[in-house]
Amino acid sequence: MKIILIGYPCSGKGTQAQFISKKYQIPKISTGDLLRKKIFNKKINSNKKINDKIKSGKLVSDKIIISLIKKRLKKNDCLKGYVLDGFPRTLNQFKIMHLEKINIDFLIEILVSKKNIFKRALGRQIHIPSGRIYHNIYNPPLIKNKDDITGEKLIIREDDTKKIIEKRLKEYEIFKKKIFKYCTKKKILKNLKYFTINGNKNLKKIKHSIQKILIK
């Protein structure tokens, strides 16, 4: 089961990827998580440059992203499948994904109104080492500001501000237009199981919609 989740930032991709990963025993691979983890563990040489890009809502270079994802997909846990969150994010990444034969069965788009995106972004907290995502109202941790599993500290992402989210929303709209144009031209969409789900609903209902798609 190879799945890509797409949608606006804060549309719930990470949370749903977490759910899919647990339910179907496939890894959740988020390029954002991989980058944050590397920065957190000080494993990237050009650490500061990448951190500045993330903080300001700019995209990290395709070269870095492709190298990260290729390395990650080579791990044994990906043999059964994976759920990708935040990759691809540019037309070039999408094309490379095809060239590299990174196959995909399902392309699921989570649709959320902009009003809800802002509501969700403000209140989001993450646990960097695992990528687990919480929200102080919609998905609170068992203990305030602590990760449920490790008890470690949760953080608020520096790019979860109104201004940066607006920028990331625009960037997503451009990306979506480009890939759909490309897929139509190359007749790719018909080989992909493309579904949209209403991500404005509550967590339980969204999970249910995803489950219904994945048994098709």
Give the nearest residue (CB) to ligand AMP: 32
Report in angstroms how near the CB of residue 105 gets to ligand AMP at its nearest: 20
Per the DSSP assignment, residues forming a β-bridge with 156 are none
Nearest CB to ligand AMP, comparing residues 58 and 119? 58
Buried b (16+ CB within 10 A) or exposed e, 105-138: ebbbbbebeeebbbebbbbbbbbbebbbbbbeee
Q: What is the closest distance, in whole angstroms, from the C-beta atom of residue 172 to ligand AMP in the complex?
A: 10
Least Å distance, CB 152 to ligand AMP, is: 18
Instruction: Give min distance, CB of 161 to ligand AMP, in A.
Output: 12
Q: Closest approach of Cβ 167 to ligand AMP, in Å? A: 9
Residues interacting with ligand AMP, by CB under 6 A? 9, 30-32, 35, 53-54, 57-60, 65, 86-87, 89, 93, 159, 168
Q: What is the CA radius of gyration of the chain?
A: 16
Q: Pull the structure tokens for residue 4.
A: 């890509």
**DSSP string for 139-161:** B--SSTTB-TTT-PBPB--TT-S
Whether 135 and 120 have beta carbons less than 8 Å apart is answered as yes
Task: Using the minimum distance from each CB to ligand AMP, give the nearer residue, 133 or 206.
Answer: 133
Nearer to ligand AMP, 126 or 183 (CB): 126
C-beta of residue 209 within 8 angstroms of C-beta of residue 16: no
Phi, psi of 33, deg, nearest 5: -60, -45
Rounded to whole angstroms, the Cα distance separating 179 from 184 reads 8
Of 56 and 198, CB closest to ligand AMP:
56
Nearer to ligand AMP, 168 or 207 (CB): 168
